[in-house]
Chain A
């Protein structure tokens, strides 16, 4: 008589299974080897020996090559040019004579542990107390990047000649990188846990730089670590201030001993950014702003302490959800957004939308927003490559001052009358 019960339970099991295809688990390893397996690509510790014995302490970091054989002096500071971290909350760099310890404090949301890397000057002995997989020899000779956001830093540090592969060239904007790909100098290795391991092993880069989600079935680094590939997790996207994110430029630079260049580039970015915030500090009228659009009834709004909110605050606008205390995004109901933002002055980052008509065809109710009626809708897709790569998520990560200038121009055109928006486009 309770014959249906097993059926019902089975139904739910089926439903659960059916609901989960998005999570299609690929057979990814869940545990990492404690010590790295024999790395097949670990040989050239000592580069072609150049005589010219180094006697006095170096005044510059070695951006190319190693300490000559037999010349290592444990008492000598091999990194006279050091990076100072001021804004990047998730990053710290500690210098020792012949190695530097780089800590990524929160590699992904909710991470319990930080990630530490010991960057050893080539030609110096390995420091103790680190696992083999944490030890990376610098300056790195070659690199594969798994996010477009690392490319502008490599470009401006003059390191693109060391780039041997990217995750997917489709979404890249950087003209030099595109040209390299065209000339067949770059490999595409794919995303996440689906990364093409054989290709990586064949290229044998000194370093693969990627990001993590914390779920081993999605992430690339567990797969690469398992085959003994040196891989570092960049968590620039976890930083919640524009300057903080840009400062991760230094994270990339330390792997190439390019601290001096990174410091100079960042100092300029910081100065330009601060100049703009001084401009907006005294504005009396702050226009009200909201961002995003709804999808399946949910409107993802950046949290009040998020990266996006920081930009709006610095640009002299009043973000309608600035009271919120979260750094992620808020899943709001569309009617809640409508009530609060109906009369707002500006609407930014509407998503994949070409025109106001597009926006209206997505959801007719969008036309009821005052910002829509006033035509005050701006999208961050002005610099999108033909294949869909948006430079807002590439070069702008390193150059928040350019985004801020666009935003100041949008909200307070009188402050920057001659500015030509770079990343932003008015939706018409």
Chain B
């Protein structure tokens, strides 16, 4: 199966990528798309811009985020031996939300906030990305610090969750005391989108995501060993704490950078690793991880394609589409498998 699976997955990804370039709110005839891609001049000058400045960065973002969150989710599920674990389980997304909420809701009033905000271009994606990264990084820092001291992985999970709750509580408090208009801006951020990443931002986003993916790929072996349990892993000569720290760094970097630039994207991170496991019928991360990357990227591209409602001018919120269309598809894949493996 796996011999055929990888070329097939790669082909699907390529197709999905092609689709997301070819279809969008604006209808561009297919031969015009081809002409633009081959370097020709289209009938309408705006079409070339739409393709290169809007659809291409959006598609690349979808690929990176889909891959990043799937890898991150897989790592977390293995590390915590918990099928419900997702990229955000250690509170990374809550930390990022807190950072963003502080900018949108917290700094809103008062003269200093206004100058801060107008100086950086309020609600400019870079400001928000920076705030989200800082928020995610501070939660990650605390978790890492604990990871070095805590022996038990479960304790780590619980502390991560606690920090998540703490950050969410502060966000709720900020919401409670904010003007409805600002709350609306914030809630828009939580709907998630791949469209906000422009080329200048890509120069920060892509390297960070690729770095996280690189670390993830390098941690394939320790992940396999960790499946056997911490004690057994230790007896095999694995430095569990160090491995754990690197896995957390990679998973949180991937989740943090995605959240920073696209808002919290739900669903992919939990669902894709399960689909990969049930299709490949293996727990070997050497296969599982690359497969998750490819499937996650494809899934993200397709979800975004639906969210763009090709042919109509309107768009749907990305997270809504992910769950609405993703749940039936992924459930049917997982339920069809006769042998559901236990982690």
Tell me the A residues contacting B by CB distance below 8 Å: 1-5, 7-8, 10-12, 14-15, 18-19, 21-22, 24, 26, 168, 170-171, 190-192, 194, 213, 218, 294-298, 330-336, 338-339, 342, 351-354, 357-359, 361-365, 368, 386-388
Q: Mark B318-343, 1 if CB is under 8 A from A, else 0.
A: 11000100010001001100111010
Would you call B25 and A336 a contact (CB within 8 A)?
Answer: yes
Q: How far is the CA of A219 from the CA of B175 in the complex (A)?
A: 14
- Per the 8 Å Cβ criterion, residues 48-75 of B in contact with A are 49-50, 53-55, 58
Q: Is B187 an interface residue (CB 8 A)?
A: yes
Q: Is B266 an interface residue (CB 8 A)?
A: yes
- Per the 8 Å Cβ criterion, residues 138-180 of B in contact with A are 168, 171-172, 175-180
What B residues does A12 contact at CB under 8 A? 323, 327
| Sample of 16 A–B contacts (CB below 8 Å) | A8-B274, A12-B327, A15-B267, A191-B178, A295-B188, A296-B188, A296-B191, A296-B195, A297-B193, A297-B196, A331-B315, A336-B25, A338-B49, A352-B122, A362-B121, A364-B198
Asked, given contacts A295-B185, A330-B313, A342-B46, whether A335 binds B26 with beta carbons under 8 Å apart, the answer is yes
Nearest first, the 9 closest Cβ-Cβ pairs linking A and B are A297-B195, A352-B122, A297-B193, A358-B121, A336-B25, A354-B118, A333-B25, A362-B124, A22-B187
Would you call A168 and B179 a contact (CB within 8 A)?
Answer: yes
Q: How far is the CA of A192 from the CA of B177 in the complex (A)?
A: 10
Would you call A351 and B122 a contact (CB within 8 A)?
Answer: yes
Would you call A297 and B194 a contact (CB within 8 A)?
Answer: yes
**Smallest CB gap from B327: residue in A:** A12
Q: Mark B267-291, 1 if CB is under 8 A from A, else 0.
A: 1001100100000000000000000
Instruction: Identify which of B6-14, B31-39, B106-114 touches chain A.
Output: B106-114
Would you call B123 and A298 a contact (CB within 8 A)?
Answer: no
Would you call A11 and B270 a contact (CB within 8 A)?
Answer: yes
Q: Which of A3, A333, A339, A358 contacts B314 (CB 8 A)?
A: A333
Q: Which of A22, A171, A331, A361 contacts B124 (CB 8 A)?
A: A361
Q: Could you tell me the distance in whole angstroms from the C-beta of A251 to the nearest C-beta in chain B?
A: 21
Asked, given contacts A8-B331, A19-B190, whether A351 binds B123 with beta carbons under 8 Å apart, the answer is yes
Q: Is B205 an interface residue (CB 8 A)?
A: no
**Smallest CB gap from B267: residue in A:** A15
Would you call B54 and A334 a contact (CB within 8 A)?
Answer: yes
Q: Mark B39-51, 1 if CB is under 8 A from A, else 0.
A: 0000010110110
What B residues does A14 contact at CB under 8 A? 84
Asked, given contacts A14-B84, A15-B267, A334-B54, whether A387 binds B200 with beta carbons under 8 Å apart, the answer is no
Would you call A7 and B83 a contact (CB within 8 A)?
Answer: yes
Q: How far is the CA of A332 from the CA of B108 in the complex (A)?
A: 26
- Per the 8 Å Cβ criterion, residues 297-331 of B in contact with A are 308-309, 313-315, 317-319, 323, 327, 331
**How many residue pairs bridge A and B at CB < 8 Å?**
177
Q: How far is the CA of A193 from the CA of B123 in the complex (A)?
A: 26
**Smallest CB gap from A381: residue in B:** B118
Q: Is B243 an interface residue (CB 8 A)?
A: no
Q: How far is the CA of A213 from the CA of B183 in the complex (A)?
A: 14
Q: How far is the CA of A368 from the CA of B51 in the complex (A)?
A: 14
What A residues does B308 contact at CB under 8 A? 333
Q: How far is the CA of A333 from the CA of B50 in the complex (A)?
A: 11
Q: How far is the CA of A294 from the CA of B125 in the complex (A)?
A: 11
Q: Is B17 an interface residue (CB 8 A)?
A: no
What B residues does A364 contact at CB under 8 A? 198-200
Would you call B315 and A298 a contact (CB within 8 A)?
Answer: yes
Q: Is B192 an interface residue (CB 8 A)?
A: yes
Q: Could you tell me the distance in whole angstroms from the C-beta of B212 to the nearest C-beta in chain A?
A: 22
What A residues does B189 contact at CB under 8 A? 296
Q: How far is the CA of A214 from the CA of B138 in the complex (A)?
A: 39
Would you call B315 and A297 a contact (CB within 8 A)?
Answer: yes
Q: Is B256 an interface residue (CB 8 A)?
A: no
What B residues does A26 contact at CB under 8 A? 176
Would you call B54 and A7 a contact (CB within 8 A)?
Answer: no
Would you call B25 and A4 a contact (CB within 8 A)?
Answer: no
Q: Is B119 an interface residue (CB 8 A)?
A: yes
Specify which of B114, B121, B319 lies most central, judged by the most chain A CB atoms within 10 Å of its CB.
Answer: B121
Q: Is B246 an interface residue (CB 8 A)?
A: no
Q: Is B120 an interface residue (CB 8 A)?
A: yes
What A residues does B296 contact at CB under 8 A? none
Would you call B171 and A361 a contact (CB within 8 A)?
Answer: no
What A residues does B238 contact at CB under 8 A? none
Q: Could you tell me the distance in whole angstroms from the C-beta of A214 to the nearest C-beta in chain B?
A: 13
Q: How far is the CA of A126 from the CA of B308 in the complex (A)?
A: 57
Q: Which of A22, A339, A342, A361 contacts B121 (CB 8 A)?
A: A361
Asked, given contacts A14-B84, A218-B180, A388-B114, whether A361 binds B120 with beta carbons under 8 Å apart, the answer is yes
What B residues does A294 contact at CB under 8 A? 195-196
**Smallest CB gap from B178: residue in A:** A191
Q: A5-B335, A332-B313 are in contact. List 14 more A-B contacts (CB 8 A).
A: A1-B340, A12-B323, A21-B97, A168-B179, A294-B196, A295-B185, A296-B192, A332-B315, A333-B315, A335-B26, A358-B120, A364-B198, A386-B114, A387-B109
